[in-house]
A and B are shown apart, each in its own frame.
Chain A
Amino acid sequence: MDQLLVFINAYLVPGIVSGSIYALGAIGLTLLFGVLRFTHFAHGDVMTAGAYFALTAIGLFGLHPVLALPIAMVCTSALCLCINHFFYRPLMRRPSLVLTISSFGIALMIRASIQLLYGVESHYYVRGIQRSTDFLGTFRIVDRHIWIVCCAIVLMVALHLLLTYTRLGKAMRAVSDSPELARLTGISTLAIVKATWVIGGSLAAVAGVFLGWDGFIQANMGWDLLLPMSAAAILGGLGRPYGAMVGGLVIGLAEELSSYPWFGGDALLSPGYKTGVAFTIMVAMLIWRPNGLFGGRVQ
């Protein structure tokens, strides 16, 4: 196989796929940070919950994973609203770090509940394998990857429209930019907080379903993704949904491309360190550009 094709098929495409998944998760993380001013450590486990909701739907009705998405989105949003109501809202007046600590515990509670209800085994949406389709005789892409990337793009465009053209979206951006200012102009913070949970939860659910579709569903899957997602959110600048989209793609690509044999025959970085790539980028970003790649504004 030609070297370029190997590069595209085995490094670039998987990088874009996992990048899309990271981006969907990171958008929720970054929106929540913008509106509620805290880092939601349970976001990865919200993703896991979404994947299990879809699993239940697929198991019950035998749906295609894409058709199970709306069900997963609704259920996950409801879950997020409940968590917000019972656990985060009572702490809202306390320093935001208390919320962060709380979310650490919520993450554990979600994971334990899933393990309790569904057990610890890995689950699958689809059995068997899908042979990849040849496009133009060169690209070999699996159908579900096309689905994943397209759905991710559609959702991101929808989010863009929401943020740009609806009153709710504008209000969200306003709160994210300056909570005090937004409160002065009479924007109802409570409604915005709820909307943020719904959007963040839904996108996390989609990310979880895609992750499970591409690999497998397992109780720790979301937690393991929390750090790459945080890295993506920080890369794009916390509080900036567009930054998170780009950040997700960059992290996804960086992870895959780090093991490409750029120089000679060996992988650039031992795959044992693959998970470290995201953390390293993240720590480096925090030190040199804490406002993200596109962050000109000083906080």
Chain B
Amino acid sequence: MNALFKRRETLLAIVIIAMVAAIATVTPEFIAPSNLLAAYTDTSILIILAMGQMLVIVTRAIDLSVAATVALTGMVMAMVNTQMPELPLIALLPLGIALGLVLGLVNGLLVWKLGIPAIVVTLGTMSIYRGLVFLISDGAWVNAHEMTASFIDLPRSSFLGIQGFAWVSILVIALTYVFVNKRQVGRELFAAGNNPTAAFYTGIDVGRSQFIAFAVSGMLAGVCGYLWVARYAVAYVDVALGFELQVIAACVIGGVSIAGGIASVTGCLLGALFLGVINNALPVIDVSPFWQMAISGAVIVIAVVANTHAERKSGRIILRSAVVGNH
């Protein structure tokens, strides 16, 4: 849609490809298609959550409670599944998504109706939601053999050689793309975050936009609650602990502006893939485990600095001569 976005996203794509190529020189197996697909599958949950987080950040809010929402919905679904194994997935899945939605709505309502800053609301609900996981489970794990086989197997089943996890993320990317580019409500999130006053003048309720973003983010976290628990075949209190920062980092690397109003699905996807490649490659290329965290931290810092350079405005340019000279 505009050259600048394109440039930043191409840059990120090039960096990712370069990174993959560099990894391949150390471990050629890494670029085997099956392996890349596995890495993508592994990144699916991050991608889905990053899509939701992007919508929240674009409205000038932030959702620190996503990981806790994942843990809570995941635990509830795992527990319902073990208590009522006869309940079909077709009923269980909507339940989990609805629960995620409700948790998102709570965030959204507090932000919209009480006007509490999103970071404070979600800092609070983050503790509350995770605490609730402990309360409902009494701290106990739900283990693989307690869950039904279909519960664990559904997202693993392949279609066209691609696993359910990946399909869900592809679906979410597509839906987000449509939501953000083709739907009025989605576009309004961008307007609300870009200039709340102007949004208000054009009849957009900024609080309501934030509310909607939180609702979507909660719903996607509900989806991920299931995917997470099914993927690792275990549910416990610390599921996805600290994962919210990864999700936010993915958005930020993908060029989502924390000040609101700027984001793109492609950028956000690339940001998540970037972290996904790092997460998956570091164990493979035999980097000392003690280096992994420092490397991903350094990479985030560098990516963020590089991003702002791309974003920097060239000034107003009043002089004609300067305009000419610029081209």
Do A and B truly interact? no
Which A residues are closer than 8 A to B by beta carbons? none
Which B residues are closer than 8 A to A by beta carbons? none
